[in-house]
Amino acid sequence: MWKMLSWNRGPDTFLGCDSGYEDARIVLLGVPFDGTTSYRPGTRFASRVMRAESYSMETYSPYQDKDLSQCKVFDGGDLELPYGNTTAVLDLVEAKTALVLNDGKIPLVIGGEHLVTLGAIRAAVKKHSSLCIIHLDAHTDLREEYLGETFSHATVIRRCWDLLGNGRINQFGIRSGDKAEFEWAAGHTRLTRFDLGGLSQAANELAGRPVYLTIDLDVLDPSVFPGTGTPEAGGITFTDLARGMLALKGMQIVGCDLVELSPPYDPSGISTAAALKALRELLCLI
Ligand SMILES: [Mn+2]
């Protein structure tokens, strides 16, 4: 597969992520894909804008009393993608994530739209057959198909369920979806509406098990994070998110992602700043 053997590192790397690949524990991977976005595209620009803006951020996390300089992170740049070919994009994300996992490192994928998670989950479940998912999002993402597509940002968690089955997907912050999705969730996933209540309990139950953490940043309220494709009022605050991440401390997180920042809808830059802060907390957490 093309570009598989080299890292497409640009002139800049994320602030504090300057380890070499060999030394790194965590590998950042930008996946600038927004090919199935239904309403407002633009997430393909997220990783490059975040890299550029990261120099405005402090490397120290007062939430975790930890500095990015203590984390060994390699910025693997952005994947070069065949836009318009969703299958090939997912294959590429899976292959690159598998490379990182098989080298004993933790992939941290920066979307892109939420469908990119599926590529990473495919690789993670091949490596860890008992994988569980913690999913923070405004949206259920449990449709069997959306606008005739089975592979879509609106079906991504359902496609993950195809791989994992019942009782292994834990959803939090959910406040949007159709009625049938919520009904389906009742028998197939653990779904917490509106907030991160129960996250600590889920973390305790999943202790020692391999977990993939997927954070759709639209779980945040649009007043905090307006720059996204499908904003949903009634979301959590940044403090809720930071505290939620603290509740995951000590879990065996084998892979993770941050998705759905859409810089074209973020003229003030506050959403990018929030995404970067979430990234810093995630890096310090894992
Ligand atoms: Mn969402």
pLDDT values of the chain reduced to their tens digit, one per residue, 286 residues? 455 556 665 557 888 788 899 999 999 999 999 988 777 889 999 999 999 999 888 999 999 999 998 899 999 999 999 988 999 999 999 999 999 999 999 999 999 999 999 999 999 999 999 999 999 999 999 999 998 889 999 999 999 999 999 999 999 999 999 999 999 999 999 999 999 999 999 999 999 999 999 999 999 999 999 999 999 999 999 999 999 999 999 999 999 999 999 999 999 999 999 999 999 999 999 9
CA–centroid distance, 229 to ligand 1, in Å, is 8
CA–centroid distance, 6 to ligand 1, in Å, is 32
Neighbours of ion ligand 1 (CB under 5 A): 137-139, 216, 218
Structure token digits, residue 89:
């994009």
Structure token digits, residue 144:
């069997």
CA–centroid distance, 141 to ligand 1, in Å, is 7
CA–centroid distance, 218 to ligand 1, in Å, is 5
CA–centroid distance, 84 to ligand 1, in Å, is 21
CA–centroid distance, 23 to ligand 1, in Å, is 34
CA–centroid distance, 1 to ligand 1, in Å, is 30
In the prediction, which pLDDT does 1 show? 47
CA–centroid distance, 114 to ligand 1, in Å, is 7
Q: Global pTM?
A: 0.94
CA–centroid distance, 62 to ligand 1, in Å, is 27
CA–centroid distance, 35 to ligand 1, in Å, is 15
